[in-house]
Amino acid sequence: MLPALACAGMLCVAPSAYAATLTVDDDKADCPAATFTSIQAAVDAAKTGDTITVCAGDYSEGTGAPGTNAVTITKSVDIKGAGADLVSITPKANPLVRGSIIEEGTPDIRNGVGDIVAIVGTPTQPLTVNISGVTVDGYDPQGREVAVEAGILFLDAKGSVIRSRVTNVVTSEGDNAYTRVGGYRGAQPGIGIVQTSNALLAPVDGARKLTIDRTRVDKYNKIGVLIDGSQNDAAPFIPSGTVNWGVITASQIVGRTQCVNYAGTGNCASVGLLTTGPLFGQDGLRVTNGSYATVDSSLISQNLVNGTGAPTRNAATNNENLTLGAGVRYAGAKMTSYTDATGLVVHSRIDRSNIVDNAYGALNVQADGTTANVGYPIPIVTGNPRPGYGNLLIAEGNWWGLRFNSTTNPGPAISPTTNPQTPENPVNGVPTANATGSTDQTSNAVDFFPYRSGPQSDPTNGQLPVLTAPIPVDDAAPAVSLAGPASAARGATITLSAAASDDFGVKRVRFAEGLTTLGTATLPPYTQSVTIPADAACNSVRTYSAVAMDSLGQTKSATVPVTVTCSTTPEPTPTATPTVTATPTATATATPGSTQTVTVGGTVEKDYDPTKTVNAAQGSGPAAAFVSWPRSIAGKSKVVFTASSAAGIKSAAVVLGSRTLCVVTAAPFECSFAPKGSDVGGQALRLIVTDNAGATTELTRNVVVSRFVASLKVTVSKKAVKGGFKRTLTGKVSFPSAVTKAQACSGKVLLTIKRAGRSVINQEVKLSKGCTFSRSITSKSAKQSFTAEVKFAGNNVLNAVGKSRRFS
In the three-class reduction of DSSP (H, G, I as helix; E, B as strand; rest coil), residue 263 is classed as helix
Cα distances from 619 to residues 279, 534, 539, 540, 563, in angstroms, run 84, 18, 6, 6, 7
Where helices occur in 462-610 by DSSP H, the ranges are none
Report how far residue 533's alpha carbon sits from residue 531's, in angstroms, rounded to the nearest whole number.
6
Q: Shortest CA distance to 471 belongs to which of 598, 351, 589, 300?
A: 589
- What lies within 8 Å, CB to CB, of 261 at 6+ separation is 267, 268, 269, 270
Cα 235 to Cα 222: distance, rounded to the nearest angstrom: 14
For residue 455, the model assigns a pLDDT of: 87
Torsional class of 101: left (φ above 0), alpha (ψ -120 to 50), beta (otherwise): alpha
pLDDT at residue 131 in the model: 99
- CATH 2.60.40.10 range(s) for the chain read 476-582+595-706
What does residue 33 show for φ and ψ, rounded to 5 degrees? -85, 5
Question: In whole angstroms, what is the distance from residue 598 CA to residue 594 CA?
Answer: 12
Give Cβ neighbours of residue 562 (< 8 Å, ≥ 6 apart).
484, 485, 486, 487, 488, 494, 532, 541, 542, 543, 544
HEC-encoded secondary structure of 657-688: CCEEEEEECCCCCEEEECCCHHHCEEEEEEEE
CATH topology of domain 476-582+595-706: Immunoglobulin-like (2.60.40)
Pairing of β 354-356 and β 299-301:
parallel
pLDDT value of position 572: 54
What CA–CA distance (Å, rounded) separates 624 from 607?
Answer: 14
CB 402 within 8 A of CB 267: no
Residue 534's Cβ-count burial label (10 Å; 0-12, 13-18, 19+) is exposed
CA dist., res. 404 & res. 230, Å (int) = 40
Nearest to 802 by CA among 745, 748, 723, 737: 748
3-state secondary structure 273-288: CCCCCCCEECEEEEEE
pTM given for the model: 0.88
Strand partners, 81: 54
372 and 343 Cβ atoms separated by less than 8 Å: no
The Cα–Cα gap between 262 and 751 comes to: 12
Rounded CA-CA distance 325/363 in Å is: 9
Instruction: Report cis status (omega within 30 of 0) of the bond before 236.
Output: yes
Q: What confidence score (pLDDT) does residue 586 get?
A: 43
> Which segments in the chain show pLDDT lower than 50?
1-15, 262-266, 581-618
Burial letters for 638-657: b for 16+ Cβ neighbours within 10 Å, e otherwise?
bbbbbbbbebebbbbbbbbb
pLDDT of 4 reads 41
**Amino acid (1-letter code) at residue 372:** A
CA distance 627 to 152: 53
Contact at 8 Å (CB) between 778 and 724? yes
State the DSSP code for 621.
Answer: S
The 10 Å Cβ neighbour count of residue 99 is 25
Q: What is the pLDDT of residue 758?
A: 75
**What whole-number distance in Å separates Cα of residue 175 and Cα of residue 193?**
24
Q: Are 556 and 477 in contact (CB under 8 A)?
A: yes
Question: What pLDDT is attached to residue 606?
Answer: 36
| Ramachandran angles phi, psi of 556, nearest 5° | -140, 155
Amino acid, res. 801:
V
Residue type, 638: K
Is the Cβ–Cβ distance between 127 and 80 less than 8 Å? no
Burial tier of 608 (Cβ tally within 10 Å: 0-12, 13-18, 19+) = middle
Whole-number Å distance between alpha carbons of 488 and 482? 16
Domain span(s) for CATH 2.60.40.1930 in the chain: 711-807
CB atoms within 10 A of CB 732: 17
> Computed from CA positions of residues 732, 733, 735, 737, in that sequence, does the dihedral angle turn out positive or negative?
negative
The CATH class, in words, for 711-807 is mainly beta
For 123-132, give one letter per residue: b (16+ CB within 10 A) or e: beebbbbbbb
The per-residue pLDDT for range 701-738, each reduced to its tens digit, is 999 999 999 999 999 998 888 878 888 889 999 999 99
Residue 489 to residue 482: CA distance in whole angstroms: 20
Quick: pLDDT tens for 634-673. 999 999 999 999 999 999 999 999 999 999 999 999 999 9
From residue 448, alpha-carbon distances to 300, 401, 458, 775 in Å are: 16, 13, 19, 36
- Residues whose CB falls within 8 Å of the CB of residue 65, separated by 6 or more in sequence, listed in order: 94, 101
